[in-house]
Amino acid sequence: MLYFFLGEDEPAYNIDHQVLLYTGDEPLACVDPPAEYACESYTHLKPHTLEAVFAPDLPHWSTRDYDTLVALLGEQAQENYESWVRELHQQPDKVLVARLFGHASGVGQDSREDAYVVREVGPQYLFDLKKWAELNMIHALDWLHFLTFESVDELDLMFWDAGYLQFLIHRKDPRNLNFQNLYAAIETS
């Protein structure tokens, strides 16, 4: 079981977080949070059961993968692309809450580039366009989509103005069960 803990989501990039892997080896006990961390904003939330379903996934329009795919498929593909994505994600009587693995998303640019800059180059260069021009962004392709939580109005789950919370993981980390280097960001338009 993976447990996700978030810090402040302001700003929406490089969000403080911690992901813990529970292997089942240690006993767990339910504990109330300390009073100083209690948050009345969440007392009305109801638990929900999540069910995993396998579904195909297409690259997001802001990524290099999308550019490559559309170049291969031609102009007609670009015109029909959004309708294809909607059809793939529609599950009768189900609400899409999260995506595990698949393609990374982004708003305006490939979010894997942000992960690469923050985790491998230095967070101080995230908005330094001069530094970005010097970088070989091919290394951003080493960052993979790990998990995305979508905003879902029916569940009263909202990330900023109906955006999504995305975690990216470096290609070498899943096989080592290393979740300490994940990159977390809220993408919203």
Q: Whole-angstrom Cα distance, residue 186 to residue 149?
A: 9
3-state secondary structure of 166: strand
34-78 residue pLDDT tens: 777 666 766 676 766 667 677 777 787 778 888 888 888 887 777
For residue 4, list its beta bridge partners: 19
**Cβ–Cβ < 8 Å for 14, 7:** no
CA 113 to chain centre: 13
Q: Which two tokens mark 168?
A: 């990216």
Q: What rounded mean pLDDT belongs to the chain?
A: 83
Domain count, the chain: 1
Tell me which residue range forms the domain holding 130: 2-187
Q: Whole-angstrom Cα distance, residue 134 to residue 31?
A: 49
pLDDT for res 170: 97
pLDDT band at 141, cuts 50/70/90?
very high
Judged against a pLDDT cut of 90, whether residue 169 lies above it is answered with yes
The CB density around residue 29, as the number of other CB atoms within 10 Å, is 4
pLDDT band at 9, cuts 50/70/90?
low
